[in-house]
């Protein structure tokens, strides 16, 4: 769903023809960044935005290993810190959104999962703790009197959601935004605020980017009113 993104103007205006902007972004940003990509390319003739989605931890490891990127957007500050500590950013990362967790179940919730405590008696999956969604799930489960054990640890939140939607497991811990994006493919069970976790999302320009001005324009769009409307419509909270 487009949310008022036509004729978005950023600081740099039209960029050099046939230039490319490479963005590394957390998998939970797939829907929102894909929408922003269309608006950005329309406002920057000749610019091809190429977005690589994946676990924040994996993406930041790739950047520190030398993978070329102009912009990096992560689902937590810890993952971004890996790149910052390697002195691979041009400036301090900027927070631009936040997210919380929810229990996702197959449609109809056949295992009757009504609360976090029910996870102890069903097959559920979560992200690997090396990913921000897994670190958040770990913190949530650690607050329970008895910690339930997942059937498997998945590389990113989209993998968790896929297993749930295909009815391969009874439940999964995912971001609220991913559950919203899945629509009727999953049902959800809320996690109480007193045990839930808020993940802040960060974005920054990667040092030695061949297109720093275009990268700055992308970050400006993400933080603009139009960009923030896209995140809000997808279920993200404010930064």
Q: 188-199: per-residue pLDDT in tens?
A: 999 999 999 999
The yes-or-no verdict on residue 3 having pLDDT over 70 is: no
Whether 35 shows a pLDDT value over 70: the answer reads yes
What DSSP character marks residue 134? Answer: H
Which pLDDT belongs to residue 112? 98
Q: Are residues 43 and 155 in the same domain?
A: no
β-bridge partners, 20: 48
178 in the same domain as 136 = yes
The DSSP secondary-structure symbol of 4 reads S
Whether 13 maps to a domain, the answer reads no
Quick check: is 4 in a domain?
no
**Domain identity same for 184 and 218:** no
How far apart CA 178 and CA 92 sit, in angstroms, is 27
Looking at the structure, tell me whether residues 116 and 168 fall in a common domain.
yes
Domains contained in the chain, number:
2
CATH number where 168 lies: 3.40.190.10
Are residues 93 and 207 both part of a single domain?
Answer: yes
What pLDDT, on the 0 to 100 scale, is given for residue 9?
Answer: 40
Higher-confidence position of 124 and 3: 124
Instruction: Indicate whether 204 pLDDT > 90.
Output: yes
Residue 17: is its pLDDT beyond 90? no
Name the band, by pLDDT with cuts 50, 70 and 90, for residue 2: very low
pLDDT for position 155: 95
In residues, how long is the chain? Answer: 239
Average pLDDT rounded to a whole number, residues 38-54: 96
- Contacts of residues 218-221 at CB distance under 8 Å and 24 or more positions apart, as own/partner, are 218/10, 218/21, 218/23, 218/36, 218/40, 218/49, 218/70, 218/71, 219/71, 219/94, 220/10, 220/11, 221/8, 221/10, 221/36, 221/39, 221/40
Work out the burial of residue 41: count CB atoms within 10 Å of its CB; fewer than 13 is exposed, 13-18 middle, 19 or more buried.
Answer: middle
Is 80 exceeded by the pLDDT of residue 7? no
Q: Tell whether 135 is covered by a domain.
A: yes
Could you tell me if 51 and 64 lie in one domain?
A: yes
pLDDT at 1: 33
Q: What is the pLDDT of residues 71-105, one digit of tens each?
A: 999 999 999 999 999 999 999 999 999 999 999 99
Tokens 């899945």 belong to 182
In a domain, 113, yes or no: yes
Mean pLDDT of 149-171: 97
Flag whether 132 is in a domain: yes
Residue 29 and residue 83 in one domain = yes
In a domain, 8, yes or no: no
User: What integer pLDDT is reported at residue 4 of this predicted model?
Assistant: 39
Residue range 56-67: mean pLDDT, rounded: 96
* Residue 2 located in a structural domain: no
DSSP 8-class letter at 206: B
Q: What is the mean pLDDT of residues 21-49?
A: 97
Contact present, 199 and 74 (Cβ < 8 Å):
no
In whole numbers, what is the pLDDT of the chain averaged over residues? Answer: 93
Q: Are residues 85 and 118 in the same domain?
A: no
Residues 173 and 229 in one domain: no
Please indicate, yes or no, whether residues 90 and 29 belong to a single structural domain of this protein.
yes
Scanning the structure block, which residue is given the tokens 């500590």? 85
The domain in which residue 62 lies consists of 19-98+200-233
pLDDT value at position 77? 96
């Amino acid at each position: 769903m487009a949310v008022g993104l036509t004729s978005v103007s950023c600081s740099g205006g039209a960029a050099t023809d046939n230039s490319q902007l490479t963005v590394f972004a957390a998998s939970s940003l797939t829907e929102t960044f894909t929408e922003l990509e269309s608006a950005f390319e329309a406002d920057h003739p000749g610019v091809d935005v190429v977005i690589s989605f994946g676990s924040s931890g994996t993406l930041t490891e790739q950047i520190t290993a030398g993978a070329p990127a102009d912009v990096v957007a992560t689902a937590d500050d810890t993952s971004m810190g890996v790149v910052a500590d390697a002195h691979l950013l041009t400036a301090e990362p900027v927070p631009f959104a936040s997210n919380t967790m929810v229990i996702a179940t197959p449609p109809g919730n056949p295992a009757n999962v009504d609360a976090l405590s029910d996870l102890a008696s069903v097959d559920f999956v979560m992200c690997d703790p090396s990913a921000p969604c897994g670190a958040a799930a770990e913190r949530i489960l650690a607050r329970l009197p008895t910690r339930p054990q997942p059937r498997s640890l998945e590389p990113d939140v989209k993998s968790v959601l896929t297993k749930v939607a295909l009815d391969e497991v009874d439940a999964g811990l995912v971001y609220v935004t991913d559950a919203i994006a899945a629509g009727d493919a999953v049902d959800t069970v809320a996690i109480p605020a007193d045990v839930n976790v808020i993940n802040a999302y960060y974005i920054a320009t990667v040092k030695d980017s061949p297109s720093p001005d275009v990268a700055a324009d992308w970050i400006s769009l993400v933080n603009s009113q139009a960009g923030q409307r896209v995140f809000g419509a997808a279920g993200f909270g404010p930064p």
